[in-house]
């Protein structure tokens, strides 16, 4: 399988090099787990190498998505929109079954073969569009098959009910239909936020079967640790170390290097829990290798 870089620092090695091209990935998680941030990282990584991006929003409108990106330190997303490299399709508040069956084919006809990255955020309203399981499966199947004609698809899915239970009716069908399923586990223990990532499946590719801690870092987004330990806080990057890391980042594209250097200089001790700074820098370099 041809691989594309996910944009999520530390994830590619866990997927044997990246996400399979022209595949469908479903990212499942509860509110606050970082699903939309994951989708934005994925789509912006493609635009960095000249690919087009299509963000289909079934919940929040375009302005809200842009605000979330800006809050992460990604104000440059507006440049992609202005250059028409990133297109938003706002399907919030519509009859989703009508959107999928009537509007989606026209979109595919215009974009077919462009090898774009498509984010559908979230997939949940598609399931709410009909109570019938068979119709839900038909809608999801049609949506995935049509979107794959355009490029590589990533959908988010809200996790409801008991945390970690993926056997509910709102998760079973998308998990079955998707090529790759990633579960973002989000919980709090004694007022401490714990985030863990688990790759549930990935067709036609080797993948990690472990649970991996991850962080959401301003300016960078999601960063995954390959360590299974959650109990080794790391101190803030010393100034000398920061300069060494910045030297290592010299091969990066100018704009990327600028953004990453800024993000590294703003890292706090809390950001660096569960993930080593040096390992994070290596994963950033690996992402752009």
Question: Which has more pLDDT, 187 or 213?
Answer: 213
Average pLDDT over residues 231-243: 71
- Residue 162 located in a structural domain: yes
Task: Specify the CATH number for the domain of residue 217.
Answer: 3.40.50.300
- Domain holding 30, by residue range, is 3-230
Dist. CA 13–CA 107, nearest whole Å: 33
Residue 244 lies in a domain: no
pTM of the model: 0.86
Q: What is the DSSP string of 63-128?
A: HHHHHHHHHTT-TTHHHHHHTTSEEEEE-TTS-HHHIIIIIHHHHHHHHTTS-EEEEEE-SHHHHH
Q: Please report whether residue 74 resides in a domain.
A: yes
9 DSSP assignment? B
Mean pLDDT lowest for which of 49-63, 212-226, 243-257, 271-285? 271-285
Let me know if residue 129 belongs to a domain. yes
| Local structure of residue 14 (DSSP, 8 states) | G
H/E stretch holding 222:
strand 221-224
- Residue 189: what pLDDT? 78
Tokens 């399981």 — which residue?
133
Residue with tokens 């839900």: 136
Q: Which is more confident, 107 or 155?
A: 155
Q: What radius of gyration, in Å, describes the C-alpha atoms of the chain?
A: 19
Q: Which of 68-77, 81-90, 129-138, 270-279 has the lowest mean pLDDT?
A: 270-279
CA 19 to chain centre: 11
**Residue 153 counted as domain residue:** yes
pLDDT at 163 over 70: no
* Euclidean distance between CA atoms 180 and 39, whole angstroms: 14
Nearest-angstrom CA–CA distance, 233 and 236: 10
Q: How confident is the model at residue 232 (pLDDT cuts 50, 70, 90)?
A: very low
Residues 42-97 have pLDDT tens digits of 999 999 999 999 999 888 889 999 999 999 999 999 999 999 999 998 877 656 66
- pLDDT tens column, 165-177: 687 777 899 999 9
Residue 239 lies in a domain: no
- Domain count for the chain, please give it: 1
pLDDT, averaged across the chain: 88
- Identify whether 247 is part of a domain: no
Residue 288 lies in a domain: no
């Amino acid at each position: 399988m041809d691989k594309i870089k996910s944009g999520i620092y530390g994830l590619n090695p866990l997927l044997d090099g990246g996400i399979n091209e022209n595949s469908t990935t479903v990212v499942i998680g509860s509110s606050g787990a970082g699903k939309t941030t994951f989708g934005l990282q994925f789509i912006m990584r493609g635009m960095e190498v000249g690919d087009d991006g299509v963000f289909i929003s079934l919940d929040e409108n375009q302005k809200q998505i842009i605000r979330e990106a800006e809050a992460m330190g990604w104000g440059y997303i507006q440049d992609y929109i202005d250059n028409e490299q990133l297109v938003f399709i706002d399907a919030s508040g519509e009859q989703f079954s009508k959107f999928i069956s009537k509007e989606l084919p026209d979109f595919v006809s215009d974009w077919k073969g462009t090898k774009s990255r498509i984010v559908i955020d979230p997939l949940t309203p598609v399931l709410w569009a009909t109570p019938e399981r068979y119709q839900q499966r038909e809608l999801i199947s049609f949506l995935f098959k049509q979107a794959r004609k355009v490029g590589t698809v990533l959908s988010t899915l809200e996790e409801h009910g008991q945390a970690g239970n993926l056997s509910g009716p709102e998760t079973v069908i998308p998990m079955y239909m998707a090529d790759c399923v990633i579960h973002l586990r989000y919980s709090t223990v004694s007022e401490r936020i714990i985030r863990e990532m688990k790759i549930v499946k990935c067709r036609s590719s080797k993948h990690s079967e472990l649970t991996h801690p991850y962080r959401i870092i301003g300016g960078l987004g999601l960063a995954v640790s390959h360590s299974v330990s959650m109990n080794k806080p790391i101190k803030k990057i010393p100034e000398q170390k920061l300069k060494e890391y910045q030297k290592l980042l010299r091969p990066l594209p100018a704009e990327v290097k600028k953004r990453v250097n800024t993000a590294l200089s703003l890292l706090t001790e809390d950001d660096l829990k569960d993930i080593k700074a040096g390992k994070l820098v290596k994963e950033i370099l690996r992402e752009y290798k």
